[in-house]
């Protein structure tokens, strides 16, 4: 949690996800170069990973993959256990740490019921979301599936979800 939600160092908190995406892009270029002859294979059977790789990421891996997805040639992707939208997370995440209970006190603007005044639309959260947008998966979904960047192509994407998941943000 401390490394993932590093609010004491906002530059690192933002760069962590961007670096993770860059790492996934580097792996995409590396994987097709992997091949083993029967003599060098740990199983004694020759094999190669030369085909187009697909991406499978869970939680932080899904976050990093979703940022990398629009900019590379993945065969497809499965993203599970992924949340997005920092401002939504800050007012609705309750597990494993109840972040939503602390945010109103830190910002100094609790409503009468203990939640953040204005919830998702609080101006401080909007400012924070703007800062982190470049590292927030919510900003990349359209690019990965519907409107790829110039020279890119849309990707097949499977993203299972569950309802009432306290580890990911509620949808407003």
Q: In whole angstroms, how far apart are CA 36 and each of 30, 41, 43, 109, 168?
A: 14, 5, 10, 60, 40
Q: Is the dihedral of CA 78, 82, 86, 89 positive or negative?
A: positive
pLDDT at residue 169, as a whole number? 62
pLDDT at residue 170, as a whole number? 61
- Residue 57 DSSP code: E
pLDDT at residue 161, as a whole number? 79
Phi, psi (5° rounding) for residue 77? -155, 150
pLDDT at residue 149, as a whole number? 94
pLDDT at residue 172, as a whole number? 55
Pair 21, 67: CB distance under 8 Å: yes
State the residue for tokens 């101006």.
123
Query: What is the rounded CA–CA span in Å between residue 12 and residue 91?
Result: 22
Q: Could you give the strand order of the β-sheet that contains 55-58, starting from the edge strand earlier in sequence?
A: 55-58, 77-80, 157-158
Per-residue pLDDT of the chain (172 residues; tens, 9 = 90+): 555 667 678 888 889 899 999 999 999 999 999 999 999 999 999 999 988 899 999 988 999 999 999 998 899 999 998 878 888 888 988 888 888 999 999 999 999 998 999 888 999 999 999 999 999 999 998 999 999 999 888 999 999 877 776 666 665 5
CB atoms within 10 A of CB 112: 6
pLDDT at residue 70, as a whole number? 94
Query: What is the rounded CA–CA span in Å between residue 169 and residue 87?
Result: 9
Query: What is the rounded CA–CA span in Å between residue 49 and residue 141?
Result: 27
């Amino acid at each position: 949690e401390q490394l993932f939600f590093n609010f004491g160092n906002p530059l690192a908190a933002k760069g962590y996800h961007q670096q993770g995406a860059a790492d996934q892009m580097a792996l995409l270029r590396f994987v097709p170069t992997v091949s083993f002859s029967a003599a060098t294979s740990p199983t004694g059977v020759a094999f190669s990973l030369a085909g187009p790789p697909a991406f499978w990421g869970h939680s932080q891996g899904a976050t990093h993959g979703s940022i990398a997805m629009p900019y590379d040639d993945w065969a497809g992707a499965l993203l599970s256990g992924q949340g997005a939208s920092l401002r939504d997370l800050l007012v609705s995440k309750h597990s494993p740490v109840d972040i939503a209970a602390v945010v109103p006190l830190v910002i100094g603007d609790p409503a009468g019921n203990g939640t953040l005044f204005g919830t998702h639309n609080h101006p401080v959260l909007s400012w924070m979301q703007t800062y982190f947008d470049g590292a927030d998966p919510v900003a990349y979904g359209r690019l990965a599936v519907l409107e790829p960047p110039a020279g890119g192509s849309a990707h097949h994407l499977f993203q299972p979800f569950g309802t009432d998941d306290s580890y990911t943000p509620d949808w407003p």
